[in-house]
Amino acid sequence: MIVGEAPLEGGHLHFLLSWSEFSAKHTCSDSIMGTKEKVGTLYPVTSNSKRTKGLGLVRSSNPVMNSLTTAKGGAQTGAFQTQDYQSPYSGYGQSPAGQTTAGDRPMTVDDVVAKTGITLAVIVALAVVNYGISFINPGVTVLLTIVGAIGGLITVLVATFGKKYGSAAVTLIYAAFEGLFVGGISMLFTNTMVAGADAGVLIGQAVLGTVGVFLGMLFVYKTGAVKVTPKFNRVLTGALVGVLVLMLGNLLLAVFTGANPLRDGGMLAIIFSIVCIGLAAMSFLSDFDSADKMIRAGAPSKMAWGVALGLAVTLVWLYTEILRLLSYFRSN
């Protein structure tokens, strides 16, 4: 039955989406920083290019996200260079008179917050629309869910291989597709596992869980409890590859034999969902670190759309895994 198969296919497509975006983020941040290795101590660039002691970053008016650009002894400036490496965006957006113009200024945390907010608003709006359609014509919702999953995957591939990481159009198109996916997958999980008012409760719990994990990992990053190092990223990449292989293997097993051990709601499926939630949570640290590096390097403000894309993919993946896990418990 198509309702039974759609969550499986949607989940696999969405993980491919997450994997493609993960590769895009690290390709982008590496190119901005100019190297995959540690580039040395960052120093603010003054008007006469004289290096000063400490690291200065543009502070945010948002107290939650402000930690992404906070450093010890920091002054505030918009362009940066390193002792051993000159950022390709140092002095970016400077007019002949030495003033930064509004159209090509360096990226700030406020840019990231604003672009991510817009992206999530589009996702939520389309999710509500697709979920509402399910009350009128569930078949249309299932179709739109599949379109959203495939369209989102294609969009991220375009962003990755077409070097459109900082494109507002690509990010918003992705958000529209993912909104259809989120609304449809919410309907499929809740209406096939539970019924009535419990469906709304389940979705609410998944949303709260997603927000809670996001804020928790932001706190972890702010306090430095877990350091994002090259080794951390290598381990995370390896774990994501392993999960991807397991998902693809499970999909082939389901197609050819009907067995679905990783998504049937059993103990193995519960453990696998918990592992996926853990990996999604760890991915937030990589997201925050990528944003931090781009801001420190003085990347152009349009790159905030790329950061928004990365955060949105991680948030949606986390939401679907939490919703799936909750649906297992409710059905049991």
| pTM score of the predicted model | 0.71
Q: Is residue 294 part of a domain?
A: yes
Name the nearest CA neighbour of 119 among 156, 66, 174, 186: 174
∠ CA 7-176-13, nearest 5°, is 30
What domain count does the chain have? 1
Which amino acid would we find at residue 221? Y
Domain assignment of residue 260, given as a range: 105-331
Cα–Cα distance measured from residue 224 to residue 330, given in angstroms and rounded to the nearest whole number = 36
List, for residues 72-121, the tens digit of each pLDDT value: 333 333 333 333 334 444 444 444 433 444 456 889 999 999 999 999 99
Which amino acid would we find at residue 264? D
Please determine, for residue 19, whether its predicted confidence score (pLDDT) is greater than 60: no
In three-state form (DSSP H/G/I as H, E/B as E, the rest C), the secondary structure along the chain is CHHHHHHHHHHHHHHHHHHHHHHHHHHHHHHHHCCCCCCCCEEEECCCCCECCCCCCCCCCCCCHHHHHCCCCCCCCCCEEECCCCCCCCCCCECCCCCECCCCCECCHHHHHHHHHHHHHHHHHHHHHHHHHCCCCHHHHHHHHHHHHHHHHHHHHHHHHCCCCCCHHHHHHHHHHHHHHHHHHHHHHHHHHCCCHHHHHHHHHHHHHHHHHHHHHHHHHHHCCCCCCHHHHHHHHHHHHHHHHHHHHHHHHHHHHCCCCCCCCCHHHHHHHHHHHHHHHHHHHHHHHHHHHHHHCCCEHHHHHHHHHHHHHHHHHHHHHHHHHHHHHHHC
User: Alpha-carbon torsion 293, 315, 171, 61, what sign?
Assistant: negative
Mean pLDDT of 127-137: 92
Residue 193's pLDDT band (boundaries 50, 70, 90)?
low
Q: Is residue 191 part of a domain?
A: yes
pLDDT of residue 103: 55
pLDDT of residue 266: 87
Q: Is residue 241 part of a domain?
A: yes
List, for residues 204-241, the tens digit of each pLDDT value: 999 999 999 999 999 999 998 988 999 999 999 999 99
95 vs 309, residue with greater confidence: 309
Cα–Cα distance measured from residue 197 to residue 200, given in angstroms and rounded to the nearest whole number = 6
Q: Is residue 167 part of a domain?
A: yes
- Residue 84 near residue 39, CB atoms below 8 Å: yes
Phi-psi region of 91 (alpha: psi -120 to 50; beta: other; left: phi over 0): left
Q: Is residue 174 part of a domain?
A: yes
Q: Is residue 120 part of a domain?
A: yes
Residue 52's pLDDT band (boundaries 50, 70, 90)?
very low
pLDDT of residue 196: 55
Q: Is residue 221 part of a domain?
A: yes
Q: Is residue 219 part of a domain?
A: yes
